Structure 1
Amino acid sequence: MTDNNLIISPEWLVANTENPQLVIIDCRFALADAELGEKQYQESHIPGAFYLDLNRDLASAVGKHGGRHPLPNIAELAEKLSAIGINSSETLVVAYDDSRLGFAARLWWLLRYMGHSKVALLDGGFSGWKVAGYPVTNTLPDRPNGKFVVKLQPDMAVDIEQVKERKDLPDKVLVDSRESERYEGLREPIDPIAGHIPGAVNYPWQGVTDESGKVRSASEQKQRWTELETATEIIVYCGSGVTACVNLLSLEIAGIPDAKLYVGSWSDWCSYQL
């Protein structure tokens, strides 16, 4: 395990798949085809891995405000985590996807938000696992229930009112995690309004990994955030509070903890301008 135990290698995972204190979770998903991730999981996944769906498990129903991926019902998610054998403060959860951590990082953040810090992400995702020649299966896993007890960390998240209060203060930084074209308002494929929150700086989330999905080194992550080191508070957002979590992971690896997620993100912000 590397980078403060936040990232694990396929080699480590294949050697530990039988560990009773390990639960693997497949988070593959596609925004353009909401059923694709689960279909892929049913066809082929890492042995022992369970599946959690972004829309059904890691978010709740969309409303007029709150963004495209509001936080899930925390009690319901805790039940699901218990049902797949996760015990609070004991079980190491390893999450993966096939989207450069774009969806697995949401689970990583949610678990920490719910008070479970023993969570890591698989370097290179499912493709990296297959390239290494490690086994896959279509067998659905089964294991005894665990007991997941929520110890919520509310300070990890902010809402639109908190963003408005803090975004123009000199020691606070608002980070937009979307591609530069969306940040600049040149292209908006999803939300009804293009642009960004005034005052936000742009750090596209894809910069955290290389093109194969491997996480860049801790020194590269630290270099990435050099200009923000003096900020007393960093608030990160994206389109809907999902891929922003990749930047939150990067900040954690870089040794800049306590950055916050604006859960509703741009989709919430622009919903008040319609």
Structure 2
Amino acid sequence: MPNPQFIVSPVWLFEHLEDPQVVIVDCRFSLADPQLGQQQYQTSHIEGSYYLDLNRDLSSPIGKHGGRHPLPNPNDIANKFAAIGINYRKSLVVAYDDSRFAFAARLWWLLRYLGHEQVAVLDGGFAGWQKAGYPVTNVVPHTQIGTFVAQVQTEKVVDITAVKNRKDSHEVVLVDSRESDRYRGEQESIDKIAGHIPGAVNYPWHEVTDSSSYVIPQPEQRRRWEKLATAEEILVYCGSGVTACVNLLSLELAGISKGKLYAGSWSDWISYL
């Protein structure tokens, strides 16, 4: 079984394209144009990769509460994982996007949430793969049926009640992962209300990578979180529970495994206001 890794390089993935235990997943998506990711995949993708859509696959339908991207039903997403050949706790899944891990990290977190820790994100994303001159194709791979039985890790997620009850504790830190101007309430282009959850500190998710979607070095990841390293619990949110997963990945890279996702995030919080 491949060893779990958080990040893999383009060269590593190229060397493992024929490895039957490696499953590659294209997670490209655009909030502004929800069909774009699928269209990009159909035009060109990493050889052998399958496509999972943020809205259709990695989220469940929107309700009154729960935010803009509620977590998918565990059995439903487990069936989708099996349908692209992921074998529970055996396959090494490599996720990629072209958005500085924004959507690949969602898949990374979801798999771990369901008990499958053999998952990594492709450093540099699709652009880095192309820049390295590695093969792309428009051929959709044949279906490879795997076996995936989800075992939900409930300790990795919190809801609004838990956030309200725990956010003001001295041992708990609440992290807002959005851009600083959204955190400060200076602009809000997505949700109906601007601002942040009272008591939250701001660690913008895009600081985890450089402008070319390469992860910043591990020592910098540790320095980024050093003020929170002694916290007993770190509750992480964003607008809808997607880009917060980039910060949860960053925490793991820094050697801090106390991060929990507020899955509904700001869009869920304001649905109760």
TM-score by length of 1: 0.98
Question: Structure 1 residue runs of 4+, over 4 Å off?
Answer: none
Aligned match of 1:19: 19
Let me know the Cα RMSD of the aligned residues. 1.0
Task: Report SS of the residue matched to 2:136.
Answer: coil
Matching of residues 182-201 of structure 1 within 5 Å: 182-201=182-201
Structure 2 distance, partners of 1:126, 1:144, is: 23
- Paired with 1:221 and 1:144, the residues of 2 have a C-alpha distance of 36
The secondary structure found in structure 1 opposite 2:46 is: coil
Alpha-carbon distance between aligned partners in 2 of 1:20 and 1:70, rounded to the nearest angstrom: 32
Alpha-carbon offset, residue 94 of structure 1: 0.2
Give the deviation of 1:143 after TM superposition.
Answer: 4.1
Matched, 1:70 2:67: no
Q: Distance in 2 between matches of 1:31 and 1:83?
A: 25
Q: How far apart in 2 are the matches of 1:11 and 1:140?
A: 22
Distance 1:144 1:213 in 2: 29
**Within 5 Å, which residues of 2 pair with 1:42-121?**
42-121=42-121
- 2:236 matched residue in structure 1: 236
Distance, in Å, in 2 between the alignment partners of 1:240 and 1:104 is: 15
Mapped to 2, the partners of 1:229 and 1:135 lie a distance apart of 41
Q: Distance in 2 between matches of 1:185 and 1:117?
A: 36
- Distance in 1 between residues matched to 2:144 and 2:109, nearest whole Å: 25
CA distance in 2, matches of 1:198, 1:5: 35
Distance 1:11 1:46 in 2: 13
Q: Which residue in the other structure is 2:151 paired with? A: 151
Gapped regions of structure 1 (runs ≥ 5): none
- SS of 1:186 mapped into structure 2: coil
What is the aligned residue count?
Answer: 271
CA positional deviation for 1:100: 0.2
- Supply the AA of the counterpart residue of 1:123: D
Partner of 1:171: 171
**Structure 1: distance between partners of 2:74 and 2:232:** 29
Q: Distance in 2 between matches of 1:144 and 1:40?
A: 22
Q: Check the 8 A contact 2:232/2:258 in 1, yes or no.
A: no
**Cα distance in 1 for residues equivalent to 2:258 and 2:179:** 23
Identity over the aligned pairs, expressed in percent? 65
Match of 2:254 in 1: 254
Rounded to whole Å, the distance in 1 between the matches of 2:169 and 2:215 is 32
Query: What is the SS of the residue equivalent to 1:206?
Result: helix
SS of the residue corresponding to residue 25 of structure 2 reads strand
Letter in 2 for 1:156: K
User: Could you tell me which residue of structure 2 aligns to residue 6 of structure 1?
Assistant: 6
Query: What's the secondary structure of 1:225's corresponding residue?
Result: helix
Task: Name the amino acid aligned to 1:65.
Answer: H
Kindly provide the CA deviation profile for residues 77-113 of structure 1, in whole angstroms up to 9, marking residues without a partner as x.
Answer: 1111111111111100000000000000000000000
Report the CA distance between 1:151 and its aligned residue: 1.3
Partner of 1:272: 272
